């Protein structure tokens, strides 16, 4: 976003994510409006990723995103949680538990999906709309539901062929001038 967009967001009291504040941000990354990212200095985003509008990411425990990952709007990612097992306080203790989230390359995280601390979403995986991911997602697996469970597996041969040919959506669009 340019300086005018940043100023408009601030004047309207809306969140604005400055890519320069991220730990790392690859080329061709597009971030939608009104994304709120807590601890942006702990977020690494690979090349040619797209983040849908209105996301909320709490990255205190660290967040690493591979290249060519697409996030739908309103995704939620948490990398820290309260320690409810702490015997000294109710409803939870004073110390948080940090656990990084890793999303490997060529993934699609659909509208409204939520990912909890410590999860790895494997290469080429898809997280369906509204899914709540509480465990690691194997590569090429499609998960959905609450809690998320396997609903399909992508074809390994097709995936490998497309990857070898460099047929990735955002890179294709960038080559066609659809993205900058």
Q: Is residue 86 situated within a structural domain? A: no
What's the CATH number where 107 sits? 2.160.10.10
- 82 flagged as catalytic: yes
Q: What is the pTM of this model?
A: 0.87
In whole angstroms, give the CA distance from residue 161 to residue 60.
Answer: 37
What's the pLDDT tens digit per position in 147-167? 999 999 999 999 999 999 888
Give the model confidence (pLDDT) of 24-57 as tens digits.
Answer: 999 989 888 888 899 999 999 999 999 999 999 9
10 inside domain = no
Task: Identify the active-site residue in 82, 154, 163, 173.
Answer: 82
Query: Domain range holding 38?
Result: 15-81+91-175
What is the domain count for the chain? 1
Does residue 3 fall inside a structural domain?
Answer: no
> Does 141 reside within a domain?
yes
Residue 151 is assigned to a structural domain of this protein: yes
Is 6 a member of any domain?
Answer: no
Question: Would you place residue 90 in the very low, low, confident or very high pLDDT band (cuts 50, 70, 90)?
Answer: confident
């Amino acid at each position: 976003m340019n300086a005018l967009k940043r100023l408009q967001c601030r004047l309207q009291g809306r969140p604005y994510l400055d890519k320069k504040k991220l730990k790392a941000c690859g080329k061709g990354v597009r971030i939608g409006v009104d994304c709120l990212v807590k601890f942006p200095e702990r977020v690494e985003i690979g090349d040619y990723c797209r983040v849908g509008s209105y996301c909320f990411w709490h990255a205190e425990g660290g967040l690493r995103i591979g290249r060519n990952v697409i996030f739908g709007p309103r995704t939620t990612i948490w990398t820290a949680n309260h320690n409810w097992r702490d015997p000294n306080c109710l409803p939870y203790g004073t110390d948080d538990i940090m656990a990084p989230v890793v999303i490997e390359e060529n993934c699609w995280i659909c509208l409204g999906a939520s990912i909890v601390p410590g999860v790895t979403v494997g290469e080429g995986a898809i997280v369906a709309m509204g899914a709540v991911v509480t465990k690691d997602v194997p590569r090429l697996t499609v998960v959905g539901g609450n809690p998320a469970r396997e609903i399909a597996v992508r074809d390994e041969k097709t995936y490998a062929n497309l990857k070898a040919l460099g047929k990735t959506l955002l890179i294709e669009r960038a080559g066609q001038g659809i993205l900058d």
